[in-house]
Structure 1
């Protein structure tokens, strides 16, 4: 472990965490003043400076506390490893909002050409968790921002996805925040709206099948019937998600 001037350190532009809450940062800053920095900031050498790999909250808090030098652990790491370590640290500390976590997953999938299964293995999450997290990026930008600012929870966000129409999602999100609804209250409202639609009520057996399929494959499933025929619809995010669903439905074909 080394100690270097804080001015020689720069944040990682690819840091998954986009926002730092001022109150929590102030509390950490006060703690550093009283007890010092016990855990070093992880950095990697760059031309003329050191770039943060993990520990940006400690770096920001140390600046607030007026530290001139800070303890660091210097490592060699490529871009993939830097993003991986930053993401894992934030997830382990529960520092990321649901949207920030989803954005980080999307960036890793795009930049480093890994599959959802490979990414899940790297960050210690299930593939269904990665898939469900990425679905949050289908929300309108304003709603994503509300989740990042903790005006809406991840539970609210997942429930809102059922509306599908962006304008309806935005309007419902505004009502949730205005009236301070719990997730349960939102889900109740969505159920009531669904029941109020002038559509043919599906038999209980089809409802059961639809729910069982949804739980099995981790995707939105709809069964539609008419007097003559029927239709099964399954939503997927991208080709990788489609392959995941096909592996579950047709395991013999993917062995």
Structure 2
């Protein structure tokens, strides 16, 4: 499927004087090209770099690197994966296109390239947005306009930086999704966020299951604050454990030697999931 243009794209960021010129391709020594200090990508997958290197070995560097002139060398704007792959092959020369770009343009162009290739994880994306805001005083509206993303999406991505560092690292690794992270932001207590994040990883909770668990805990917190009932500590522990296992709200009512367990579900699908966990047919 052909990918649509992303927002206003690079044309919105490169000075107009550049647009009127033909993009001339030059070949320069690879050691003359230095990495982009504003590169938003924080982690590079070695396997994908090796696969790209194999492709370059067979077909060459099809797309020139985008660079800007800096004193006696060229600074990369976009194309760091290609540069790393080329260095693995010890290529002496690389094709480049030289652009007249300021620091802000360099970051924006690198950000656009990575997002167009769907290469950044949510935390890398959030850091790039925050850097644009802090260093260049770019508004969220401007980022939204340039990248073709809604203002709400930009705002939600930036909010991920409020999560504990451990959770951000798990999001970088892909063990916690953007949607999971957004759900965790609804929890104010950071220790609770960490515990819930661990449940997501350990039990493979879906976003809906996590949201249900958060709702059940919030309701439980309200009941506790009301202070109308003093709970038996052991019962509370067992109740918490069952909620962890079933990923839904569980209520244990105890009266002397008898009692009952109330398990909530939110759809037929959720009920079937809970029954499978109880029967032990799937790993909770």
Fold shared, TM-score > 0.5 on shorter chain: yes
Equivalent position to 1:141, from 154, 165, 175 = 165
The count of residues paired between Structure 1 and Structure 2 equals 200
RMSD: 1.6
| 1:87 pairs with one of 97, 111, 116 | 111
- Once residues 222 and 108 of structure 2 are traced to their aligned partners in structure 1, the CA distance between those partners, rounded to angstroms, is 48
Q: How does 1:153-192 map to 2 (within 5 A)?
A: 153-192=177-216
Offset, 1:175? 2.2
Q: Deviations over 1:6-36 (max 9, x none)?
A: 1111111111111111222121111111111
1:23 corresponds, among 38, 47, 51, to 47
How far, CA to CA, are the matches of 1:136 and 1:126 in structure 2? 16
Q: TM-score, normalised by structure 2?
A: 0.67
Flag structure 1 segments of 5+ consecutive residues without an equivalent: 201-255
Give me the TM-score of the superposition, normalised by structure 1.
0.74
| Mapping for residues 5-154 of structure 1, pairs under 5 Å | 5-154=29-178
Whole-angstrom distance in 1 between the partners of 2:194 and 2:87: 38
Q: C-alpha distance in 1, partners of 2:88/2:43?
A: 16
Kindly indicate whether the alpha-carbon contact (under 8 Å) linking 1:84 and 1:123 is maintained by their aligned counterparts in 2.
no
Residues of 1 paired with 2:207 and 2:53: CA distance? 33
CA drift at 1:113: 1.3
SS of the residue corresponding to residue 62 of structure 2 reads coil
The 3-state SS of whatever aligns with 1:81 is helix
